[in-house]
Amino acid sequence: MRIGKRFDAPQNARIHNKSQYDLHAGEYSLKRSRKDGGFWNEFLDLPAITGLLRGEIKGKRVLDIGCGGGIMCGRLRAAGARITGLDNSASMLDIARRDYPEIEFIRAEADRTGLASGGYDTVFAALVAHYFKDLRPFFREAARLLKKDGVFVFSFHHPFNEILSLRFANGKVSVQVRGCYFHNDGYTWTMSEKMKLVSYHHTMENVVETLADCGFAVERLLEPRPPKFARKHSVRSYEITSRYPSFCAIKARKL
């Protein structure tokens, strides 16, 4: 993840990000389907999310917010979930419906889904939260959608990673702190050569306190690292992510 200039216009960022996923849906889905291209997803985020969802899937109504091309929806359906996918990108949903025609997919915004209250046992959102400057509307919507004692599992860019510049050369990782930790500014970053996105920095305190304000209790927090066998897929990615956190994943329960 290469971080660029600051960006601090939430509504413009939402429109920009949606257009990027619409424009580059095919490229993004291809990247996600390859273990080398999708190293961060395949060996960090998805294992963490899957671990936190254990016991919260089989026979339960599950909503995947920010489902993209539906990869996780397909995996959870195979594990016994009554799964629904939701995304705001029409192009990403076209791919999801093509690849997983047996699953229901809905086009909507993550913080205003229009779905019925209390309709789900489990809501999860992989790498979505960092697209919101204010987390409260997103977390409140997740709480509204869940039944009492329902589970919210989500992941996001690790705030420590967002303030670091990481380089890999000659078999070694070098690191430099780029700026202060305590802020809520937006920044641009590179998903691929043509795909540029906007996210917002949140301190860990902000994430946990906002969850509490929205009626959740945190049960688990993971800072995933890759398994050793992942090194053969990308030495650079393995060396960086086994030393410094890229993502954080949280399991919270609705009170």
| pLDDT per position as a tens digit, 89-119 | 999 999 999 999 999 999 999 999 999 999 9
Does residue 183 fall inside a structural domain? no
147 dihedral zone (left: phi>0; alpha: psi -120 to 50; beta): beta
Of the pLDDT bands very low, low, confident and very high (cuts 50, 70, 90), residue 37 is low
Does residue 19 fall inside a structural domain? yes
Full residue range of the structural domain in which residue 141 is found: 8-158+205-254
Does residue 23 fall inside a structural domain? yes
Does residue 63 fall inside a structural domain? yes
Does residue 131 fall inside a structural domain? yes
Does residue 179 fall inside a structural domain? no
Look at the chain and report how many structural domains it folds into. Answer: 1
Helix (H, G, I), strand (E, B) or coil at 233: coil
Biggest CA-to-CA distance, the chain = 54
Distance of alpha carbon 195 from alpha carbon 17, whole angstroms = 9
| pLDDT per position as a tens digit, 226-241 | 999 999 999 999 999 9
Does residue 166 fall inside a structural domain? no
CATH number of the domain residue 44 falls in: 3.40.50.150
Does residue 135 fall inside a structural domain? yes
